[in-house]
């Protein structure tokens, strides 16, 4: 069953899967194995205090921690890249992919649309030949596919007659001329983009006989047959669809949405290569999210179930190769099938429960896929009860990752202005983890689940954006899904990384104001936690400032209109003075991008809550206590006095 352990005082929900098997480590009734300690606010486990006190548990426990061998351990919060958000990255190790690879790339951590916390990082690499290549990781191995093959494969739909992109069954597809026009978007004066689009299409001539979408999908399926673990009788086309659905832009369900998203990544990559777009700061809080403990456990248990089912499948195939008639007869018997599961599922050694118990007791993850994470250890810590505030601080601590402890650069430890109000600027320890181990601010709330886009009083966000003036864009034109192509002077509009359409700059500003007004209504028609971020032209988003000659050169960000349902990110309440109502402020909205918040920017009382237990003394003029870091406080004062050197997200008029 699914157990929701609510930490009401800590403002987040922890989800843990509890199996019905007797050897599952998370099963609460077994005293010799791991226990997840519930709280009194968990009606599904203990509906009254009588049942709660009976197993010798205290009725005033907050819960949210695991008892492993008598030791209280909790899974710490981690900062990971933001999901469904394209990020421009420049890394020298990208050149190690091949002789034609450069150090430029656009990375997007795509999370599956069914919200099972599965994520795959797709990176579009820029090549010296003018082409591009798509990278994804499967079973800790990196695979690179030319982007033109993916574009042609996605242009034919999902293979069904109802896909509606480029004909029936993916036979026709989108022509190279239309792909060229989709990339260029009518910007004939951009010679750099025109040349790269032509080189990208010429790169497809290396693959002879791959003209239709089905041929491209079959070619991809033939190269990944061993990875898919499919039967030998499975057609190559089916394996190709499996690879695209499982590893390519998994946050989009439809092939048309995948194609639009890939075209957006390609345009941003060429803008990045031309110098029109700067590097996105991966250390900025606005490009990160919080990995919740329950979501990590959920992903880990899900992978272990997949591994167990795969082991049982391989075992059954082995039995059938040895004696097909006997194995077929045994499969009809329930008791024999149960023996197969016990034998090949390694249930005699503890099964999945033993692996979960090992993870909770050591903090080390043994994963076949890596779970799209950058570390394999340090996920759990001991919840020390030295005092009450120290105990509570364990549940509010946020770590950047064990990988960054070994880095010799200090850029990842810097205190950036966009952390104010979300992470405490002073509550960080001295020594090695300084700047890497932070704590949530007093009023910061980590969101544990995405807000619904429709239902109840909420309006469908896609239809609402179209009614407000967004022109829906799609692939295929008149012969496809009926959506037209966007133009280059339109700003792309995205919902959770999925391209909905485009609109002019003036229309996007109007839509932004209307959506923010809908959020603060008594009966909101859009989710109150909806994150809205607009990067319009004329006011450019400084994401990198580098010395150039006697001054600095600013590189702007790619113009986009983002709408996010706040996947496990930090929000905080903001009391509006003119509207007399509290509303949620996000990381991007807190960076001078909201006109509503700018009206109350001078009121410092709304910003003094950006502290934790130790920083709370400073906002009241008291003396700091605990592990207060004076050097971190001085660096924060330096960031305030020299704000120009930390203009990671400042919006300002473009210089003539």
Residue 584 confidence (pLDDT): 57
Residue 56 confidence (pLDDT): 59
Give 606's contacts (C-beta < 8 A, 6+ positions apart): 574, 575, 600
The answer to whether the beta carbons of residues 49 and 60 sit under 8 Å apart is no
How far apart are the C-alpha atoms of 90 and 606, rounded to whole Å?
Answer: 37
Degrees, nearest 5: CA angle 630-636-638 = 105
How far apart are the C-alpha atoms of 502 and 358, rounded to whole Å?
Answer: 49
How far apart are the C-alpha atoms of 74 and 85, rounded to whole Å?
Answer: 29
Residue of 596, 589, 579, 588 whose CA lies nearest to 521: 579
Q: What is the mean pLDDT of residues 244-272?
A: 93
Beta bridge partners of 13: 6
The answer to whether the beta carbons of residues 431 and 464 sit under 8 Å apart is no
Quickly state the pLDDT bin for 266 (edges 50, 70, 90).
very high
| N- to C-terminal Cα separation, the chain | 62
Quickly state the pLDDT bin for 591 (edges 50, 70, 90).
very low
- Tokens read off for 27: 């099963």
Question: Above 70 in pLDDT, residue 618?
Answer: no
Neighbours of 495 (CB within 10 A): 18
Residue 480 confidence (pLDDT): 45
Residue 265 confidence (pLDDT): 95
Helical (H) or strand (E) element with 26: none
Residue of 414, 108, 451 whose CA lies nearest to 287: 108
Rounded to 5 degrees, what are φ and ψ at 353? Answer: -60, -40
User: pLDDT tens-digit profile of 110-127?
Assistant: 998 887 888 999 999 999
- Tokens read off for 505: 């700059």
Give 342's contacts (C-beta < 8 A, 6+ positions apart): 348
Residue 338 confidence (pLDDT): 84
Q: What is the mean pLDDT of residues 397-416?
A: 88
How far apart are the C-alpha atoms of 574 and 532, rounded to whole Å?
Answer: 15
Question: In the predicted model, what is the mean pLDDT of the chain?
Answer: 75
Q: What is the mean pLDDT of residues 322-331?
A: 87
Residue 462 confidence (pLDDT): 87
Question: Above 60 in pLDDT, residue 566?
Answer: yes
Q: What is the mean pLDDT of residues 631-647?
A: 36
User: pLDDT tens-digit profile of 464-490?
Assistant: 999 999 988 865 443 445 566 778 889
Rounded to 5 degrees, what are φ and ψ at 79? Answer: -95, 120
Quickly state the pLDDT bin for 586 (edges 50, 70, 90).
low
How far apart are the C-alpha atoms of 473 and 250, rounded to whole Å?
Answer: 20
Q: What is the mean pLDDT of residues 307-323?
A: 89
Question: Does domain 81-288 sit in CATH 3.40.640.10?
Answer: no
- Tokens read off for 608: 């003094």
Quickly state the pLDDT bin for 344 (edges 50, 70, 90).
confident
Distance, C-alpha 637 to centroid of its chain: 32
Residue 543 confidence (pLDDT): 46
Beta bridge partners of 138: 141
User: pLDDT tens-digit profile of 23-37?
Assistant: 333 332 233 334 555
What percentage of the chain's residues is helix, strand, coil (to nearest 5)? 35, 20, 45
- Tokens read off for 437: 């181990």
Orientation angle between helical segments 334-344 and 293-322, nearest 10 degrees: 120
Residue with tokens 């994963």: 367
Beta bridge partners of 473: 484
- Tokens read off for 236: 């190559």
Q: Which long-range contacts (CB under 8 A, 24 or more apart) does 231-240 make?
A: 237/159, 240/153, 240/216
Which has the higher per-residue pLDDT, 74 or 550?
A: 74
DSSP secondary structure letter of residue 569: -
The SS3 assignment for 42 reads: coil
| Cα-based distances in Å from 219 to 152, 216, 233 | 11, 5, 16
Quickly state the pLDDT bin for 53 (edges 50, 70, 90).
low
Residue 51 confidence (pLDDT): 56
| Cα-based distances in Å from 4 to 18, 66, 68 | 10, 14, 19
Question: Above 60 in pLDDT, residue 308?
Answer: yes
Rounded to 5 degrees, what are φ and ψ at 452? Answer: -70, 145
Helical (H) or strand (E) element with 606: none
User: pLDDT tens-digit profile of 493-546?
Assistant: 999 999 999 999 999 999 999 998 888 888 888 888 888 888 877 554 444 444
Question: Above 90 in pLDDT, residue 294?
Answer: no
How far apart are the C-alpha atoms of 11 and 292, rounded to whole Å?
Answer: 12
DSSP secondary structure letter of residue 484: B
Residue 50 confidence (pLDDT): 57
Residue 567 confidence (pLDDT): 58
Strand 561-564 and strand 491-495: the pairing is: parallel
Residue of 519, 540, 497 whose CA lies nearest to 597: 519
How far apart are the C-alpha atoms of 173 and 164, rounded to whole Å?
Answer: 10
Quickly state the pLDDT bin for 196 (edges 50, 70, 90).
very high
How far apart are the C-alpha atoms of 481 and 175, rounded to whole Å?
Answer: 15
The answer to whether the beta carbons of residues 499 and 489 sit under 8 Å apart is no
User: pLDDT tens-digit profile of 89-114?
Assistant: 999 999 999 999 999 999 999 998 88
Q: What is the mean pLDDT of residues 363-373?
A: 91
- Tell me the domain boundaries of the chain: 1-64, 81-288, 293-376, 461-610
Q: What is the mean pLDDT of residues 182-208?
A: 89
Quickly state the pLDDT bin for 145 (edges 50, 70, 90).
very high
Quickly state the pLDDT bin for 48 (edges 50, 70, 90).
low
- Tokens read off for 2: 């699914």
Share of the chain above pLDDT 90, in %: 33
How far apart are the C-alpha atoms of 84 and 104, rounded to whole Å?
Answer: 19
* Phi/psi-derived region of residue 167, left when phi > 0, alpha when psi is between -120 and 50, beta in every other case: left
Question: Above 90 in pLDDT, residue 79?
Answer: yes
- Tokens read off for 341: 């599961």
Which has the higher per-residue pLDDT, 623 or 631?
A: 631
Share of the chain above pLDDT 70, in %: 69
Question: Above 60 in pLDDT, residue 146?
Answer: yes
Residue 559 confidence (pLDDT): 82
| Protein fold of 461-610 | Hypothetical Protein Ta0175; Chain: A, domain 2 (3.90.1070)
pTM of the model: 0.79
How far apart are the C-alpha atoms of 50 and 334, rounded to whole Å?
Answer: 40
How far apart are the C-alpha atoms of 184 and 324, rounded to whole Å?
Answer: 58
Residue 123 confidence (pLDDT): 97
């Amino acid at each position: 069953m699914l157990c929701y352990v609510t930490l009401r005082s800590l403002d987040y929900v922890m989800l843990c899967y509890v199996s019905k098997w007797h050897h599952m480590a998370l099963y609460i009734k077994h005293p010799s194995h791991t226990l997840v300690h519930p709280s009194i606010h968990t009606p599904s486990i203990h509906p009254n205090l009588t049942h709660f006190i009976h197993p010798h548990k205290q009725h005033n426990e907050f819960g949210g921690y695991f008892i492993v061998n008598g030791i209280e351990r909790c899974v710490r919060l981690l900062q990971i890249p933001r999901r469904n958000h394209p990020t421009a990255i420049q890394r020298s190790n990208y050149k190690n992919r091949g002789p034609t690879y450069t150090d430029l790339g656009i990375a997007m951590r795509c999370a599956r649309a069914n919200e099972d916390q599965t994520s795959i990082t797709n990176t579009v690499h820029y090549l010296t030949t003018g082409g591009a290549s798509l990278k994804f990781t499967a079973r800790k191995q990196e695979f690179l596919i030319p982007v033109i093959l993916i574009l042609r494969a996605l242009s034919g739909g999902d293979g069904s007659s109802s896909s509606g992109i480029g004909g029936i069954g993916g036979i026709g597809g989108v022509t190279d001329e239309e792909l060229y026009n989709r990339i260029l978007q009518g910007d004939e004066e951009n010679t750099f983009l025109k040349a790269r689009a032509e080189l990208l299409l010429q790169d497809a001539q290396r693959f002879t006989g791959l003209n239709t979408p089905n041929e491209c999908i079959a070619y991809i399926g033939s190269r990944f047959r061993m990875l898919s673990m499919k039967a030998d009788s499975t057609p190559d086309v089916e394996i190709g669809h499996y690879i695209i659905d499982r590893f390519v832009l998994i946050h989009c369900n439809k092939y048309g949405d995948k194609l639009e998203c890939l075209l957006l990544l390609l345009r941003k990559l060429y803008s990045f290569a031309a110098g029109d777009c700067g590097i996105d700061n991966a250390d900025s809080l606005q490009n990160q999210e919080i990995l919740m403990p329950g979501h990590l456990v959920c992903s880990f248990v899900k992978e272990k179930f997949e591994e167990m089912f795969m082991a049982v499948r391989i075992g059954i195939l082995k039995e059938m190769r040895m004696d097909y008639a006997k194995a077929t007869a045994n499969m009809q018997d329930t008791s024999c099938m149960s023996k197969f599961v016990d034998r090949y599922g390694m249930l005699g050694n503890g099964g999945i429960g033993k692996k979960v118990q090992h993870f909770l007791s050591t903090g080390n993850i043994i994963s076949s896929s890596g779970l799209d994470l950058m570390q394999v250890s340090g996920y759990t810590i001991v919840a020390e009860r030295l005092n009450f505030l120290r105990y509570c601080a364990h549940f509010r601590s946020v770590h950047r990752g064990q990988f960054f402890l070994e880095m010799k650069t200090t850029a990842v430890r810097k205190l950036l202005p966009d952390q104010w109000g979300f992470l405490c600027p002073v509550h960080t320890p001295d020594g090695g983890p300084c700047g890497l181990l932070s704590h949530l601010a007093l009023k910061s709330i980590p969101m544990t689940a995405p807000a619904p886009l429709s239902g109840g009083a909420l309006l469908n966000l896609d239809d609402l954006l179209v009614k407000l003036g967004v022109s829906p864009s799609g692939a295929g034109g008149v012969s496809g899904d009926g959506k037209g192509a966007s133009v280059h002077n339109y700003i792309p509009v995205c919902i959770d990384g999925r391209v909905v359409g485009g609109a002019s700059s003036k229309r996007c500003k109007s839509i932004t104001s209307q959506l923010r007004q809908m959020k603060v209504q008594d009966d909101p028609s859009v989710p109150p936690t909806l994150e809205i971020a607009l990067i319009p032209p004329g006011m450019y988003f400084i994401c990198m400032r580098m010395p150039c000659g006697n001054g600095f050169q600013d590189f702007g960000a790619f113009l986009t209109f983002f709408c996010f349902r706040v996947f496990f990110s930090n929000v905080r309440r903001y009391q509006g003075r003119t509207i007399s109502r509290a509303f949620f402020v996000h990381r991007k909205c807190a960076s001078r991008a909201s006109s509503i918040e700018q009206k109350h920017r001078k009121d410092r009382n709304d910003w003094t809550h950006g502290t934790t237990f130790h920083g709370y003394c400073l906002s009241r003029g008291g003396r700091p206590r605990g592990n207060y870091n004076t050097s971190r406080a001085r660096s924060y004062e330096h960031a305030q006095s020299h704000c120009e050197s930390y203009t990671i997200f400042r919006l300002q008029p473009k210089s003539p």
